[in-house]
Amino acid sequence: MAPWTAWLAVVPLAAVCAADLRHRIIPDWCVAALALIGLLGAAGAQQSSGPDALQSALLAGGFCALIGGGLSVIGLWGWGDAKLLAAAGLITGVAGMPRLFMAMALAGGGLALLLLVLRGCVRRGRLALKPDAPRWLRAERRRLRLAPSVPYGLAIVAGLIAGM
């Protein structure tokens, strides 16, 4: 993967993290930008190193789309997570997939554990907020109290960074 692809991916990755953390939504423009960056990076690598780079990116993207789509169909993920994982596969290629999945699993497990601890604190009343706390923080506390949702886009981004 060329260094310029990593620099181009900074803005969409930051936007994914912010949107998924605050609203539990992954914007389509971020996923489209990441997929385009992955395809352009693979096409550039194909011209310099050989025909395998584009095939590797397409194979990894397709495999990740199947996994993400399957997890979305059975209700474990949202479709935004599935699309983001497919774009991550396009960027990492087949060679980066083991690092992508390992880092994604570790980050997702850590994130889920953190949210479970925070949820327990909120339910026991140990996580009090000041009345002038930011609205997004109050919304997150309410979300922790009512429904356990995990912003798994953060874990996918961590896996993508490790897979690059």
DSSP code string of 16-48: HHHHHHHHS---HHHHHHHHHHHHHHHHHHHHH
Contact 151, 136 (CB under 8 A): no
Between helix 3-23 and helix 79-123 the angle, nearest 10°, is: 50
> Taking the domains of the chain in order of start, what are their residue ranges?
3-163
Are the C-beta atoms of residues 69 and 133 closer than 8 Å to each other?
no
Structure tokens at 31: 């996923």
**Section 21-46 average pLDDT:** 92
Report pLDDT digits (tens) over 150-159.
Answer: 899 999 999 9
Single pTM value for the model: 0.88
The pLDDT tens digits for 63-94 are 999 999 999 999 999 999 999 999 999 999 99
* CA-based end-to-end distance of the chain: 7
Share of the chain above pLDDT 90, in %: 60
User: Measured between alpha carbons, how far is 74 from 145 in angstroms, rounded to an integer?
Assistant: 24
Residue type for position 45? A
Please give the pLDDT value at position 18: 94
Q: What tokens appear for 53 in the block?
A: 């780079």
For residues 138 and 129, is the Cβ–Cβ distance under 8 A?
A: yes
Q: How far apart are CA 76 and CA 104, in angstroms?
A: 15
pLDDT band at 55 (very low <50, low <70, confident <90, very high): very high
Per-residue confidence (pLDDT) for residue 1, from 0 to 100 = 61
Cα distance between residue 96 and residue 1, in whole Å? 9
- Cα 12 → chain centroid: 11
Asked whether the beta carbons of 68 and 77 are under 8 A apart, the reply is yes
CA distance 159 to 138: 29
Mean per-residue pLDDT, 107-118:
90
What pLDDT, in 10s, does the model give residues 114-143?
A: 888 888 777 777 777 777 888 777 777 777
